[in-house]
């Protein structure tokens, strides 16, 4: 495989690239480093989907973290069995930040919508399997509360993106999650490029566990989708798009990486991975990602990978 791929289509500044020899360029971590968010919305609708489908299941509750929008960092109890394990699911982007914009059969599809659709399906599956699930967001919103100054010309500012990603890590920590999974979709200039790739951070004390998680998730996704296996990568192998000078010297995904004073003061405390199951710039893959069948298949694969990891197998 040629290397991680991704194009920083919505990142203003790209000052660093660890893999200078790669002809491809990158966007994935865009997720982590880049855009997110938007105006605070109410989580009601998605919460009802999650709870309503489960009949008597308890209502979702918000994990107490300062500075969250309503409906962010929502905790859902298991609906069958009690495994005493919490899975943190982060649907990438949201609100003002659409993430990748793709086309599926003549219809525009937004990464933020597909990550939420997959994450919501995954949450229902895991709850049925006995896990408590905490979702960074359950509606089309940012995670951190925003002010008018956080959106300029319709896009989130760099500092707002940074704060939103920190809020996602803070949510996972406050939830005492056993594992963190951030869901994104990929993009590239060449629409023929497709496939799946997964990232983890190798600098953390629990890096071996994160690597196992990333490997299990990647294997399950590739098996389920039958598409190109672009591999498992460490986040410092990304041609990291940077938003600020602080970000450029960090070199990790904010949600997965280590502490860095003044930039990531409270890093995530549990093994984590960021998965990009498909490319939304590939028309065929975008169409599948936008379909109910595709979203169910992806969610099912993530469930398989997560549960293999959590079982210690
Ligand atoms: Zn993304």
| pTM assigned to the model | 0.83
Give me the domain span that covers residue 119: 30-311
Q: How far is the CA of 32 from the centre of ligand 1 (A)?
A: 7
Q: Can you give the pLDDT of all 313 residues of the chain as single tens digits?
A: 445 665 333 222 222 233 332 333 333 333 333 333 332 333 334 444 454 444 455 569 999 999 999 999 999 999 988 788 999 999 999 999 999 999 888 899 999 999 999 999 999 999 999 999 999 999 999 999 999 999 998 889 988 999 999 999 999 999 999 999 999 999 999 999 999 999 999 999 999 999 999 999 999 999 999 999 999 999 988 755 544 455 567 889 999 999 999 999 999 999 999 999 999 999 999 999 999 999 999 999 999 999 999 998 6
Task: Tell me, in angstroms, the distance from the centre of ligand 1 to residue 85's CA.
Answer: 26
Give domain status of residue 21, yes or no: no
8 A C-beta contact, residue 134 and residue 89 = yes
Give CA–CA dist 240/248, Å, rounded.
8
Tell me the CA–centroid distance for residue 80 and ligand 1, in Å.
32
The alpha carbon of 206 and the centre of ligand 1 are apart by a number of angstroms equal to 24
For 210-228, b/e burial (b = at least 16 CB within 10 A) is bbbbbbbbbbbbbebbebb
Q: Is residue 12 a part of any domain in this protein?
A: no
The answer to whether residue 10 is domain-embedded is: no
Helix-helix angle 111-128:44-52, to 10 degrees: 30
- Which CATH number covers residue 212? 3.40.630.40
The rounded Å distance from CA 86 to ligand 1 centre is: 23
Whether 193 is in a domain gets the answer yes
Task: State how many domains the chain has.
Answer: 1
| 116 belongs to a structural domain | yes
- From CA 61, how far away is CA 272, in angstroms rounded? 23
Distance 200 CA to ligand 1 centre (A): 15
For residue 227, being part of any structural domain is answered with yes
Residue 183 CA to ligand 1 centre (angstroms): 8
Q: What's the 76 CA to ligand 1 centre distance in angstroms? A: 24
Distance 1 CA to ligand 1 centre (A): 21
């Amino acid at each position: 495989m040629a290397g991680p791929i991704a194009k920083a289509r919505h990142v203003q500044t790209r000052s660093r690239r660890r893999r200078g020899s790669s002809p491809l360029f990158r966007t994935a971590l865009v997720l982590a480093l880049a855009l997110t968010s938007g105006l605070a919305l109410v989580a009601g609708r998605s919460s009802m989907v999650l709870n309503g489908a489960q009949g008597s299941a308890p209502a979702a509750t918000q994990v107490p973290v300062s500075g969250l929008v309503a409906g962010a960092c929502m905790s859902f109890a298991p609906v069958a069995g009690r495994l005493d394990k919490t899975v943190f699911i982060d649907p990438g982007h949201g609100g003002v930040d659409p993430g990748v914009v793709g086309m599926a059969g003549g219809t525009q599809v937004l990464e933020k919508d597909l990550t939420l659709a997959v994450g919501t399906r995954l949450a229902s599956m895991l709850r049925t399997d006995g896990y408590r699930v905490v979702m960074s967001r359950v509606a089309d919103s940012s995670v951190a509360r925003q002010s008018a100054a956080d959106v300029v010309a319709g896009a989130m500012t760099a500092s707002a993106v940074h704060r939103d990603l920190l809020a996602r890590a803070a949510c996972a920590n406050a939830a005492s999650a056993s594992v963190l999974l951030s869901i994104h979709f990929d993009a590239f200039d060449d629409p023929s490029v497709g496939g799946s790739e997964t990232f983890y951070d190798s600098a953390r004390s629990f890096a071996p566990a994160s690597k196992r998680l990333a490997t299990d998730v990647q294997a399950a996704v590739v098996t389920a989708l039958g598409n190109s296996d672009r591999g498992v990568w460490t986040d410092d192998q990304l041609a990291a798009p940077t938003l600020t000078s602080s970000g450029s010297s960090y070199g990790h995904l904010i949600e997965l990486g280590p502490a860095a004073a003044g930039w990531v003061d409270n890093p995530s405390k549990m093994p984590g991975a960021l998965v990009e199951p498909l490319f939304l710039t590939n028309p065929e893959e975008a169409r599948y990602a936008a379909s109910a069948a595709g979203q169910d298949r992806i969610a099912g694969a993530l469930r398989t990978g997560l549960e293999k990891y959590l079982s210690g197998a």
